[in-house]
């Protein structure tokens, strides 16, 4: 069985109920986070791949509910570490009368930020047995500065052990102390990664790059084996073994919520590649997944709804 580990944070999500503009505001509670979202969609498509989250939660009731939810999605909890003093992060989504969304975060001291301090040799041994290790720019941003050296040493150990390292630069400016700090950490990430899945939008915010060619040129000096450049409805450019492939993406008309567009793309693409599918078919599956997800509210589409997509794909 193939095994993939995704490192990052899952948070408690509070979402304003539709039309709930009164005070007090009626909200529904769920769980979400970029790496977690990707893990869910990867597992939903490829049940035969073992999917694990490397993260940390607390001993509180909400942490236990989160672990139970992980299990309900088929995720393996062996690398979900426990902090005795910290709890999960939380964020809320508010939507105004015009449909504009805003986010508020409470995550500055979450358990996930201390994952590396809780990592023991037994867990590191498990990590070395993985086929793939995935992390994102958000994963990087939440690492405590004093744990960064430990993280990079770990990644090089995994790479030396034959684990494929995958990085999505997924950028959130508010999580970083400065753009210089971001660039410094991203440079280390690009040095160690075998696969990189940048979005043009992210690279424009960090480096000022505005198109496929500029992103490709920037990444060229690094020893990246598979570069998957995403530009929303403008398509996907993949550079692999010195060959380029452009995949056009069909536009989505009924756009509802783009929260998990990139996450669902990543999950489907990485699962397909790990399962042995070719680049074009993997991109098309990933694009179809993202296109389906953004037509529904929330980061995680209900299982029953998502299975309609699985059935449709199977029939085709």
Which residues are CB-contacts of 24 (< 8 A; sequence separation ≥ 6)?
Answer: none
202 catalytic per annotation: no
| Alpha-carbon torsion angle 105, 208, 226, 279, nearest 10 | 80
Can you give the pLDDT at residue 18?
A: 66
Percentage of the chain with pLDDT > 90? 80
pLDDT in tens, 199-210: 999 999 999 999
- pLDDT given for residue 316 in this prediction: 47
Q: What is the pLDDT of residue 311?
A: 78
Q: What is the pLDDT of residue 98?
A: 55
More confident residue, 19 or 216: 216
Selected residue with higher pLDDT from 102 and 135: 135
Domains of the chain: 3-9+33-50+120-315 (3.40.1190.20)
Helix (H) or strand (E) holding 133: strand 132-136
pLDDT in tens, 174-197: 999 999 999 999 999 999 999 999
Question: Given 34, 168, 202, 263, which residue is catalytic?
Answer: 263
Yes or no: say if 259 and 268 are a contact pair by the CB < 8 Å rule: no
Non-local (6+) Cβ contacts of 303 within 8 A are 44
Tens-digit pLDDT profile for residues 41-98: 999 999 999 999 999 999 999 999 999 999 999 999 999 999 999 999 999 887 666 5
For range 246-252, the mean pLDDT: 89
Helices (H), 208-260: 212-219
Give the global pTM. 0.94
The Cα–Cα gap between 213 and 74 comes to: 39
């Amino acid at each position: 069985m193939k095994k993939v580990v995704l490192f990052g944070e899952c948070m408690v999500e509070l979402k304003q109920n539709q039309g709930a503009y009164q005070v007090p505001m009626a909200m529904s509670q769920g769980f979400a986070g970029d790496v977690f979202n990707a893990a869910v969609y990867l597992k939903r498509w490829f049940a035969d791949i073992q999917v694990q989250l490397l993260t940390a939660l607390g001993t509180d009731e909400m942490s236990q509910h989160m672990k139970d939810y992980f299990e309900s999605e088929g995720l393996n909890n062996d690398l979900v570490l426990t902090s005795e003093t910290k709890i999960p992060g939380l964020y809320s989504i508010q939507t105004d009368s015009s449909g504009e969304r805003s986010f508020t975060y409470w995550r500055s001291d979450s358990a996930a930020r201390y994952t590396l301090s809780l990592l023991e040799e037994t867990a590191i041994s498990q990590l070395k047995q993985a086929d793939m290790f995935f992390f994102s720019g958000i994963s990087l941003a939440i690492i405590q500065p004093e744990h960064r050296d430990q993280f990079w040493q770990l990644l090089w150990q995994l790479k030396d052990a034959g684990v494929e390292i995958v990085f999505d630069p997924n950028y959130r400016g508010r999580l970083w102390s400065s753009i210089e700090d971001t660039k410094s950490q991203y440079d280390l990430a690009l040095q160690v990664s075998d696969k990189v899945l940048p979005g043009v939008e992210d690279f424009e915010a960090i480096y000022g790059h505005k198109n496929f060619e500029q992103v490709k040129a920037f990444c060229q000096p690094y020893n990246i084996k598979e570069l998957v450049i995403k530009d929303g409805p403008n398509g996907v450019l993949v550079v692999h073994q010195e060959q380029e492939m452009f995949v056009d993406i069909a536009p989505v008309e009924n756009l509802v919520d783009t929260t998990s567009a990139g996450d669902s793309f990543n999950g489907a693409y990485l699962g397909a590649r790990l399962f042995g599918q070719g680049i074009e078919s993997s991109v098309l599956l990933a694009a179809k997944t993202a296109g389906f997800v953004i037509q529904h509210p929330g980061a995680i589409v209900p299982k029953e709804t998502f299975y309609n997509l699985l059935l449709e794909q199977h029939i085709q």
